[in-house]
Amino acid sequence: MEPTACDKQYYEWLEQLQVVDFALVELNLFLDTHPNDLRSIEQFNQLVQERKKLAKKFQEVYGPLQNFGRAFSKYPWEWSQSPWPWQV
């Protein structure tokens, strides 16, 4: 059986990505005004790595999170399949 957007895991992984994305945005804003805060830079870089891993895992199972070359597609073309992450 193919995984679908109705799976509990889909929402759990998507929420994990949203949590990390929120933290990255907040750290980005903080670092705009505190560019020499090494601890925050290290935390930002660690979260970037975590996000890459989470996104890769999510996309391998459920398809691309973004289009325009930021994610691979299985056959057939997956981007046109809904729901898209922002629709759930």
- The yes-or-no verdict on residue 38 having pLDDT over 70 is yes
Reference 24, options 57, 56, 58, 49; nearest CA is 49
| Interaxial angle between packed helices 8-33 and 38-62, expressed in degrees from 0 to 180 and rounded to the nearest 10 | 150
- The tens digit of pLDDT for each residue in 40-61 reads 999 999 999 999 999 999 989 9
User: Running DSSP on this structure, what letter comes out for residue 35?
Assistant: T
CA distance 8 to 69: 27
Mean pLDDT of 61-82: 69
Q: Which residue has the higher pLDDT, 1 or 58?
A: 58
In angstroms, rounded to a whole number, what is the distance separating the alpha carbons of residues 55 and 2? 18
Q: What is the residue-averaged pLDDT of the chain?
A: 84
Greater pLDDT, 82 or 38: 38
How is residue 38 written in tokens?
A: 């090494």
